[in-house]
């Protein structure tokens, strides 16, 4: 059975009118996709507020300060997991993902990445067609505007496993 086509959607905060709009789109995604999600993690080291952040600056800085005050022990913590069944954990993850060097949302099978932030600057969704359709419907149902280039993005079939990773 061939894998479902996947659409790549750019999601850097600078693309939105306000950072909170990007947060809201991620929050809707995490809530909708919960049954499909595997690990939802971020790198807690070196968290830094995004320049685009407006309304939630003080709240997010408090989250960052609390994480930095936690005892790390002798080993460096490279991942911090978040339980998407917990509403507060979802809220925290959404606001910290864009503050992190690396934040990733995996599928339940851990073969597919659904969302990732790297170096606090690049953010991407990789959505299978069925999930993209549900996500867009959920966004519309909640009154959020879907970025125009997301609506016109073309889904592509993933390369077979033996052709990935190379040229």
Taking only the tens place, the pLDDT of each residue in 144-155 is 999 999 999 999
User: For residue 167, is it within any domain?
Assistant: no
User: For residue 164, is it within any domain?
Assistant: no
The closest of 13, 150, 33 to 95, measured between CA atoms, is 13
Taking only the tens place, the pLDDT of each residue in 106-149 is 998 757 899 999 988 899 999 999 899 999 999 999 999 999 99
Q: Which domain holds residue 154?
A: 6-159
Query: Domain tally for the chain?
Result: 1
What is the C-alpha separation between 73 and 94, in angstroms, rounded? 26
């Amino acid at each position: 059975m061939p894998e479902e086509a996947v659409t790549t959607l750019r999601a850097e905060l600078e693309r939105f009118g306000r950072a909170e709009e990007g947060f809201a789109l991620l929050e809707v995604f995490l809530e909708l996709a919960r049954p499909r999600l595997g690990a939802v993690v971020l790198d807690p080291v070196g968290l830094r507020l995004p320049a685009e952040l407006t309304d939630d600056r003080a709240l997010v800085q408090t989250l960052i300060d609390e994480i930095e005050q936690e005892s790390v022990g002798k080993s460096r913590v490279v991942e911090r997991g978040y339980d998407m069944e917990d509403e507060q954990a979802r809220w925290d993850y959404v606001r910290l993902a864009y503050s992190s060097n690396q934040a990733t949302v995996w599928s339940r099978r851990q073969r597919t990445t659904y969302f990732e932030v790297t170096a606090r600057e690049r953010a991407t969704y990789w959505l299978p067609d069925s999930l993209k359709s549900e996500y867009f419907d959920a966004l519309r149902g909640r009154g959020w505007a879907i970025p125009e280039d997301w609506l016109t993005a073309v889904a592509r079939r993933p390369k077979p496993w033996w052709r990935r990773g190379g040229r």
